[in-house]
Structure 1
Amino acid sequence: MNILNEFLLKHVIAFYELIEEQVANSEIHNIDDKFKIPLTQQVKDSINNIIDYCGSEDQNQQLIPAKAFVLALKRFIYRFLLIDSNIKNMSLRIKFMER
């Protein structure tokens, strides 16, 4: 039990997030077909306008790094699938737009 004294909360959280990311990857690839609807062009354009795909360091624009966006989106989808008890009657797209 003394080994646990060496870990800080930040270490435990980082470990949990690493595991969650790996589980989310497999869960998202096995998502039910009813959730696999194409994005509208308007939604695609909105996403493209807020994402920094190139890693530019232009401080004038407040863009989200692409990797951070993908990770946040994976976590959102995974957590939605994990905790929503009414999932059979709910559209993921509608739920995403609500939050």
Structure 2
Amino acid sequence: MLVVIANDLPPAVRGRMKLWFVEPRPNVFVSGIKDSVATSVIDYLYKYCPASSGVMIFRSISKPPGYEVRSIGPTRKTMTEISGLQLVIETLKN
């Protein structure tokens, strides 16, 4: 599975993403594509998305912890790594 969340994608990239993904919300893409296609999509995103796109990519993998997280440019959520586990930091609002 591949999940892509972006702050803002270029129109051409967003249109291309709609070929492989369901877009449940604007700039949120979800797909169950195979690993080889997922790698091609990730390479495409790195090639055509400027850092201002703020892309966060969640990809399922076969080794622990079962996923990897990548990003392009600054994102709205902060990522951290604790003992080799990639996590997204959520701030609590009172």
Q: Which TM-score band applies after superposition, normalised by the shorter structure?
A: under 0.3
Larger Rg: 1
Q: Tell me which of the two structures has the higher relative contact order, counting C-alpha pairs closer than 8 angstroms and 6 or more residues apart.
A: 1
Higher helix fraction: Structure 1 or Structure 2?
Answer: 1
Q: What TM-score do you get using the length of structure 2 for normalisation?
A: 0.26
